[in-house]
Structure 1
């Protein structure tokens, strides 16, 4: 309980700092604003003869994509903390690693929720045709979001443990962008070849987008989905499987990574970083 309390406090402090720092504020607003610009250009473009516009279909999908991107934020922050010695200092304190991980979950989740609100509130004013007027829609959005974060944040912790420097995080970006491209975020997945549809359904990005669409779109929009259905049970199954796998593997990988951390390893990484700058 002491670790939980310390982690919660640490996470709130980091979250508050992210909204009082100019660079972090830019990162909070830049991506949602870019997505709102994309939605503006899609607001009047129809998707075939479905009767729906691409902007209406894309808004909830982008919310799901942003929720999945929490794993990238988790990975980047964990790697940065390894490089500057923050993780080593946490390791040296009683229950420090538990408190550190809890704090990171709190700060990343809080920042993610804020980013989603920055996108959703003006997006609902910009885009019409959404079915967000009843409690059931918001309840669906809530459970999809919570399950999605449990499914993706441990993946981010694993990736942050594997990559040893912030510079190597660039290796993550291309596969993530590839997943987004085939997951039906900006255009319905049923317009893609069948083999790409099967690949997309392996990863959580597609299911987060589908879950968000089921929450915010009218029932008739399910006709353009695979199987003409929102497939809630399949969404629970796939996201749940990723969550269980991540929660099992992440603590093991984090413990092994923490055991390898030492003052000499931090100093070596800092020396390499200085050489790159030089």
Structure 2
């Protein structure tokens, strides 16, 4: 128990160090803030574009969908890129050599990425509450629902991100992950109401967490007039948490086994070989 609690403390400390490093390094900070700023600009331009829902604009709907997509991108892309990058540079091998080092490493990643996601959400939500009159948090229940969507969303995406990061040994290969995620973004109702798409496309979008993250955020922050552009004119709360929960179960079932398999295959020679290939590409 003492060893496990020590690993938890070490991982939490590691996550906080990475979190502070991101906010004190100009390059990392710009990379973190730039997508949020771009989306804010897009929201502002779409403030006056109507959707057909009473009193709501596409910009207003986009605000809440962006909050959901940020969680999805953080859980899938950020986790997978971090694992593949630190697998290549030997960080994972060093963690493996320490008792409970992999557990400490994973806890650190969870703390860092969860913290960064929360900061991004706070920035976007604060902007939305100031700029968009229709975006509100209806009391304690609304805040509780927003927090629940965030937690379920992270659990639904972070384990899957860890699985994807374990599969790809090089960070240059994570482009294979980003392309389908961007495709899902195009059909998940982030930039426009999903109901304008063909029904078969709507079914595809509903099979993945991104749509449900956006829907959950909208249900927590928008008035019921927004239901006019939702599937079935319903927030579908049980379905939202059910689908996100199912993805969380799938990810949590797969991630430990995949990560253990990856850790067993890591060795000094494999790290050296990947470094040599990276240097050859640079050269």
- Asked if 1 retains the 8 angstrom alpha-carbon contact of 2:53 and 2:229, the reply is no
Q: TM-score, normalised by structure 1?
A: 0.98
The TM-score, its normalising length taken from structure 2, stands at: 0.96
Residue aligning to 2:203:
198
Counterpart CA distance in 1 for 2:94 and 2:17 is 17
Q: CA deviation at 1:6?
A: 1.1
Deviation at 1:130, TM superposition (A): 1.5
Take 2:93 and 2:129, find their aligned partners in 1: how far apart are those partners? 44
Task: Please name the residue that 2:280 is paired with.
Answer: 275
CA distance in 2 between partners of 1:93 and 1:31 (Å): 36
Question: Who is 2:224 aligned against?
Answer: 219
Pick from 169, 172, 185 the counterpart of residue 167 of structure 1: 172
Counterpart position of 2:87: 82
TM-align CA RMSD: 1.0
Contact kept, 8 Å, 2:51 with 2:229, in 1: the verdict is no
Q: Secondary structure of the residue that 1:19 maps to in structure 2?
A: helix
Contact (CA 8 Å) 1:130, 1:216: kept in 2 or not? yes
- Paired with 1:248 and 1:269, the residues of 2 have a C-alpha distance of 29
Q: Distance in 2 between matches of 1:25 and 1:122?
A: 18
Structure-1 separation of matches of 2:185 and 2:30: 23
1:62 aligns with 2:91: no
Hey, what does 1:141 align to over in structure 2?
146
The 2-side partners of 1:246 and 1:234 are apart by 18
Matches within 5 A, 1:31-42: 31-42=35-46
Q: Which residue of 2 aligns with 1:256?
A: 261
Aligned residues: 278
Q: Is the 8 A contact 2:46 2:57 kept in 1?
A: yes
Structure 1 unmatched ranges of 5 or more = none
Structure 1 residue 80, shift from structure 2 partner: 0.6
Q: 1:72 aligns with which of 68, 73, 77?
A: 77
Provide the residue aligned with 2:134 in structure 1: 129
SS in 1 for 2:24: coil
Deviates more, 1:20-29 or 1:158-167: 20-29
CA distance in 2, matches of 1:49, 1:62: 19
